[in-house]
Amino acid sequence: MSGTPAEPVRIRVGGTSEPYDVLVGTGLLGELAALIGTSARRVAILHPEALAATGEAVREDLAAQGYEAIAVQVPNAEDAKDVAVAAYCWSVLGQTGFTRSDVIVGIGGGATTDLAGFVAASWLRGVRWIAMPTTLLGMVDAAVGGKTGINTAEGKNLVGAFHPPAGVLADLATLESLPRNDYVSGLAEVIKAGFIADPVILDLIEADPEAARDPLGKDTAELITRAIRVKADVVSGDLKEAGRREILNYGHTLAHAIEKAERYKWRHGAAVSVGMVYAAELGRLAGRLDDATADRHRTVLAAVGLPLTYRGDAWPRLLETMRVDKKSRGDMLRFIVLDGLAKPVVLEAPDPTLLVAAYAEVSA
């Protein structure tokens, strides 16, 4: 892969009693056994249907090293983040005699690693787990930071736990089989990292949007490592989202409501893209964000092919869903907006007319 460093880049994530590393590179399977360690006897490899061959290859590799390794296939994408799928995983672990010294490996996109982490957090009240993200979004965001969870009928990620992994192996070669639409969806979280903390990300994408859309592009490794550093820095200071971690939720208040309205058939990154345009408009209307930075959201997101609008008639339902967003306190809605580039702040209880006016700006 062009732009890929020969040696893996190692990014430390702290803020927990057991700091861990995110390794970014190629050919990282060889690192897995060392992370699993010698006290584990059994390893459960959770993978989506789309990665059945990869799951089996990892299983064979671990079995050859003496582990009792089992591959556990789960549905693709958001269908995996369901309590019935978690229950299926619990029953497999129970039947395998999985103990507290055993290890779960989640290999797949963010949906798979969110589920795998949640199963690890809940099984025997917590076993070790390792994330092997295979989507751009998983590498730069979902696999890092220990937020794990599943959806419920009422909304996105409403059940979960903070349960950091023992390590993250982000093998860039896995991105080559990812459908382009999924790769581009992951760029929304990369762009989010640019707006909230590292504007060089935006400069790189604007200078060559076609390269940004290409897993083999010249800037890919730099974009990925920059976005991971933003996430690692934030979660290292605030694992349980007592404060600053909320900035990682930029664009997500509306995004999660859109995902629910679409019955989770929109990709998360696409919804985050619309959600960031909305948050930018809200910031602008609240008198916080300058016009140029608000407009920049539309230009950079459109340049890589991400959506900017959503159905106008959906507003009442979206507003209702936003009320159960995890940032809400009682009846008070809270949003992350920008006071300027890389200056995220919390906007509490915005005037309802501002919410409607901002939605008019993203209505299709």
Q: Which residues bind ligand NAD (CB under 6 A)?
A: 48, 50-51, 76-78, 81, 108-112, 114, 134-135, 137-138, 141-142, 145, 147, 157, 174, 177-178, 182, 185-186, 189, 267-269
Please state the closest distance from residue 165 (CB atom) to ligand NAD, in A: 10
Per the annotation, the verdict on 245 as an active-site residue is: yes
Characterize the bridge pairing of strands 42-48 and 68-74: parallel
Per the annotation, the verdict on 231 as an active-site residue is: yes
Query: Catalytic residue among 47, 59, 245, 326, which?
Result: 245
Q: For residues 57 and 204, is the Cβ–Cβ distance under 8 A?
A: no
Contact range with ligand LNCXM5UN by CB under 6 A, out of 94-102, 246-254, 259-267, 278-286: 246-254
Place of tokens 């390792």: 130
Helix or strand holding residue 54 (H, E):
helix 52-64
Nearest to 315 by CA among 262, 360, 275, 252: 360
Nearest to 164 by CA among 350, 320, 21: 21
Whose Cβ is closer to ligand NAD: residue 22's or residue 285's? Answer: 22
* Phi (first) and psi of residue 269, to 5 degrees: -65, -35
Q: Work out the number of other CB atoms within 10 angstroms of the CB of residue 262.
A: 16
The answer for residues whose C-beta is within 8 angstroms of residue 356's C-beta and 6 or more apart is 315
Contact call for residue 151 and ligand LNCXM5UN (CB under 6 A): no
Which of ligand NAD, ligand LNCXM5UN, none does 137 bind, CB closer than 5 to 8 A by kind?
A: ligand NAD
Contact call for residue 293 and ligand LNCXM5UN (CB under 6 A): no
Per the annotation, the verdict on 249 as an active-site residue is: yes
Per the annotation, the verdict on 256 as an active-site residue is: yes
- CA 350 vs. chain centroid, Å, equals 27
Strand residues in 17-102 grouped as ranges (E)? 20-25, 42-48, 68-74
Per the annotation, the verdict on 59 as an active-site residue is: no
Taking CA 150 as the corner, what is the angle to CA 145 and CA 151, rounded to the nearest 5 degrees? 125
Please state the closest distance from residue 66 (CB atom) to ligand LNCXM5UN, in A: 35
Q: For residues 141 and 110, is the Cβ–Cβ distance under 8 A?
A: yes
Whose Cβ is closer to ligand LNCXM5UN: residue 57's or residue 342's? Answer: 342
Which of ligand LNCXM5UN, ligand NAD, none does 267 bind, CB closer than 5 to 8 A by kind?
A: ligand NAD
- CA 202 vs. chain centroid, Å, equals 19
Per the annotation, the verdict on 222 as an active-site residue is: no
Per the annotation, the verdict on 252 as an active-site residue is: yes
Which of ligand NAD, ligand LNCXM5UN, none does 26 bind, CB closer than 5 to 8 A by kind?
A: none
**Residue with the shortest CB distance to ligand LNCXM5UN:** 157
Contact call for residue 141 and ligand LNCXM5UN (CB under 6 A): yes
Contact call for residue 267 and ligand LNCXM5UN (CB under 6 A): no
Tokens of residue 253, six digits:
């208040």
Whose Cβ is closer to ligand LNCXM5UN: residue 55's or residue 186's? Answer: 186
Q: For residues 11 and 24, is the Cβ–Cβ distance under 8 A?
A: yes
Supply the Cα-derived Rg of the chain in whole angstroms: 20
Torsion on CA atoms 220, 148, 64, 88, rounded to nearest 10: -130
Among 112, 113, 122, 249, binds ligand LNCXM5UN (CB under 6 A): 249
Cα 141 to Cα 230: distance, rounded to the nearest angstrom: 9
Which of ligand LNCXM5UN, ligand NAD, none does 77 bind, CB closer than 5 to 8 A by kind?
A: ligand NAD
The answer for residues whose C-beta is within 8 angstroms of residue 113's C-beta and 6 or more apart is 106, 131, 133, 138, 142, 143, 148
Contact range with ligand LNCXM5UN by CB under 6 A, out of 18-26, 201-209, 242-250, 294-302: 242-250
Contact call for residue 148 and ligand LNCXM5UN (CB under 6 A): no
Q: Work out the number of other CB atoms within 10 angstroms of the CB of residue 205.
A: 22
The binding site for NAD(+) comprises 110-114, 134-135, 147, 156
Residues lying near ligand LNCXM5UN in the complex (CB under 6 A) are found at 141, 145, 147, 156-157, 189, 241, 245, 248-249, 252, 326
Residues labelled catalytic = 125, 147, 189, 231, 241, 245, 249, 252, 256, 268
